[in-house]
Amino acid sequence: MKILAISGSLRADSYSTQLLRTAAGLTSLQLWNGLATVPPFSEDHEDAPAQAVHDMRAEVAAADALLIATPEYNTTIPGQLKNALDWMSRPYLEGVLVDKPVAVVGVSPSDYGADWAQNDLRKVLKVCGAHVVERHLCIPRADSAFDDEGRLRDRAAQATLALVLDDLGALVNERKQV
Ligand code: FNR
């Protein structure tokens, strides 16, 4: 199964990207690093999108599933992630997110672990036609969340991350049978 992991952060030392690396210790996944190359969405450019948009859509289309780690900016998902999702959502009802199994996770320095952003991300993904894993993983107090091996210090959270990945695999198998 090919899982494409997308971090919604462009920050070099991103906790969100670290969370995806932690997930990579539990299952095979490919970390996508093209977010910064995606141009601002404009309907004026929909007929001839930039190569970066073609490349992103091809990578998403080729994946069996997505694992997205979103930061929380001002209670919602960062603009750069929403921008990429807007490109993925087009053409309307034919975008690469249609029928795509997706799991969402989040980590933040606050006590809430990017919960609001994750809920907003689930809403956007569903309206784009994705099938979204319902299990939630909100990692709070990001600055002390990871140990030296990159695993989550909170063993319950580490176990929940494994369950999110299990759910994603089950969703992929379920969709293959439809
Ligand atoms: C934040 N941050 C933040 N955190 C949070 O829990 N809720 C929020 O609403 C916000 N709002 C916010 C706005 C802006 C513009 C920035 C730059 C930051 C803090 C944020 O969670 C923190 O910077 C994380 O480290 C960002 O994720 P990455 O880059 O570590 O993955």
Domain ranges for the chain: 3-42+50-176
* Pocket (CB within 6 angstroms of ligand 1): 9, 11, 14-16, 71-75, 108-110, 112, 114, 142
142 vs 111: CA distance, rounded Å: 9
Whose CA is closest to atom 17 on ligand 1? 73
Dist. CA 9 → ligand 1 center (Å): 9
Which of 81, 108, 139 to mutate for ligand 1's pocket (most ligand atoms within 8 Å of CB)? 108
pLDDT value of position 178: 82
Residues of the chain with pLDDT below 50 are none
Dist. CA 107 → ligand 1 center (Å): 9
ipTM computed for the complex: 0.99
- Angle at alpha carbon of residue 70, lines to 69 and 74, rounded to 5°: 165
Phi, psi angle pair for 154, to nearest 5°: -80, 110
Supply the CATH classification number for the domain 3-42+50-176: 3.40.50.360
> Exposed, middle or buried by CB within 10 Å (0-12, 13-18, 19+), for 119?
middle
